[in-house]
Structure 1
């Protein structure tokens, strides 16, 4: 069985796919070529992903680049337009394949899924309510009173006394007359109780009770320390991303979960602070609001390739 790739591996594959799309678009500048070479040279995994992207391009579209460019130079407008469209498809097919292959099979087979930036609210037959955040997947077996979180983040509100169990990689969460948010991260599962109380059964260690306003991290070696939880923080349930004097880098990493493509920023921006409530249905507007309130500029190569840079002072 193929091991599920890390979020870093998925990000590298996305970057390679984006570079491929840019080069095939015919709009890459010499600076773009130099940045691509720097990216390839910066780590062996980058070069490996790039070579895979190149091989996929040849597999999905066998026309050699030199021949394609020669054909584009011909004066027949219809031929040139058709070939440009074909080149675009040739770039997009391996792009989708590269990104798609980074998702484990159980995500594709899940009963319910959300894409990047998508949010779902699902009423269950017993009166409970399930919500899925961006890029999430869950399996549902109401007969067994079991929900299995495969990927991402979910919220579950169970108003009745019949418990529902959430199965996560690092343990079980038993929910009755309570509301809980559960988020899978790279190496842990964060459980936050919005109301009521839930029972936790970690893979290692004793069962424990978690009350409203508390959260804990479940890991392979058991539960971490119980901490305080602000019930207003998971604003995604209402389509809102909230920040209270939050470092910009931390805020952007969270925002990136809701945006397709690449969101980058220069390290000098990491320590700027952000406060506010931002609607997640328009992440481009969030970036515009950040540029209006902080000393930064938004550079958009495409809708899916955005970089934030410090604003230059103009004397």
Structure 2
């Protein structure tokens, strides 16, 4: 159940932006494979709590462009109706931003929310594209899918704000050199003449250094950690993990590949699902099986077929946009 439901008790203090994000959360929930009848009932109760909620819900329905309201029933029934316009729950909000339906950043409260700031970012990519930009100092900035960043260059520093997603940075050379910073939700990185990849997850960030070094600073102010070439680490607001050897899976996306080295099927499906429209799921019985190999991120059907041919699993399709990895029968 979306966390926004508990906030309904404070309707009087709720603004349009809160209601919009709550409505998007409810819609994403009802599009999930494990959505239940109770989810539909709870959503309807949330809509009935105020006219603001109902207005936000109707706006979400307009955004999808496929239906006026969600029918009661399971998420798969809904998905079959809207599979041409809706991607996975993880990227649902990005669909709203990129669907070309005229949603303005002001309407989404761009100055107030993380979602709004992402929509207004200078550089961003959609759910099915990567892009490379050359900045004014010669820095090469490559954005993976579903990524949004802002760039702020001044006389004293060069700063990248990563709002969401994953970026590969090869810093430009300067003399004299301005400090190069990357800011995330969890802390900051200082590049020391380097090439590195930074990915922002829901609860932490991961940095992988290909060349040179970076210094990682957690938001809480704990002792910073240097990460050298051939190393990677993860950090959140309160801690920075000790560096460990760089894993190919952390950077192979730049070549359109997923390099799996004893990767759990659960993690494999999570990665493949980022590059695939719709729902990519797995049965809990296969979650801890492991797979190794090099798989295409540009042909996810082929990657899934390779998984099925390597392990005792099979693929269960309901639509072209819904596939689940299950134990072989």
Runs of 5+ in structure 1 lacking a partner? Answer: 20-34, 66-87
CA shift digits 1:79-112 (9 cap, x unpaired): xxxxxxxxx78x969x978963897111111111
Residues 234 and 133 of structure 1: CA distance in aligned 2, closer, same or farther (over 3 Å): same
Query: Does structure 1 retain, via aligned residues, the 8 Å contact 2:94–2:126?
Result: no
Query: Does structure 2 retain, via aligned residues, the 8 Å contact 1:215–1:229?
Result: yes
TM-score (ref. length: structure 2): 0.68
Residues 205 and 274 of structure 1: CA distance in aligned 2, closer, same or farther (over 3 Å): same
- 1:268 corresponds, among 277, 285, 291, to 285
Aligned to 2:151: 140
| Pair 1:171 & 2:187 matched | yes
- 1:237 corresponds, among 224, 236, 254, to 254
Q: Distance in 2 between matches of 1:225 and 1:258?
A: 30
Query: Does structure 2 retain, via aligned residues, the 8 Å contact 1:5–1:103?
Result: no
Q: CA deviation at 1:156?
A: 0.6
CA shift digits 1:220-245 (9 cap, x unpaired): 22423333323564101111111012
Aligned to 1:254: 271
Q: Distance in 1 between matches of 2:170 and 2:161?
A: 15
Residues 264 and 165 of structure 1: CA distance in aligned 2, closer, same or farther (over 3 Å): same
| Pair 1:151 & 2:164 matched | yes
Residues 280 and 92 of structure 1: CA distance in aligned 2, closer, same or farther (over 3 Å): closer
CA shift digits 1:237-274 (9 cap, x unpaired): 11111101211112111221222221111111112221
Aligned to 1:183: 199
Q: CA deviation at 1:159?
A: 4.5
Residues 246 and 47 of structure 1: CA distance in aligned 2, closer, same or farther (over 3 Å): farther
Q: Distance in 2 between matches of 1:165 and 1:178?
A: 12
Runs of 5+ in structure 2 lacking a partner? Answer: 1-14, 49-53, 72-80, 97-107
Partner SS for 1:268: helix
Residues 175 and 139 of structure 1: CA distance in aligned 2, closer, same or farther (over 3 Å): same
Partner SS for 2:31: helix
CA shift digits 1:26-65 (9 cap, x unpaired): xxxxxxxxx76xx334xx5x753477799646975679x9
Query: Does structure 2 retain, via aligned residues, the 8 Å contact 1:278–1:286?
Result: yes
Aligned to 1:200: 216
Aligned to 1:224: 241
User: What count of residue pairs does the alignment treat as equivalent?
Assistant: 266
Query: Does structure 2 retain, via aligned residues, the 8 Å contact 1:192–1:216?
Result: yes
Aligned-CA RMSD value? 3.8
Residues 10 and 310 of structure 1: CA distance in aligned 2, closer, same or farther (over 3 Å): farther
Partner SS for 1:146: strand
Query: Does structure 1 retain, via aligned residues, the 8 Å contact 2:256–2:297?
Result: yes
Aligned to 1:277: 294
Equivalent positions of 1:1-315 (< 5 A) are: 13-17=27-31, 39-41=36-38, 47-49=41-43, 56=57, 60=62, 100=96, 104-143=115-154, 144-161=157-174, 162=177, 163-203=179-219, 204-230=221-247, 233-312=250-329
Q: Distance in 1 between matches of 2:94 and 2:169?
A: 33
Partner SS for 1:285: helix
Partner SS for 1:289: helix
Query: Does structure 2 retain, via aligned residues, the 8 Å contact 1:136–1:153?
Result: yes
Query: Does structure 2 retain, via aligned residues, the 8 Å contact 1:249–1:270?
Result: yes
Q: CA deviation at 1:4?
A: 12
Partner SS for 1:223: coil
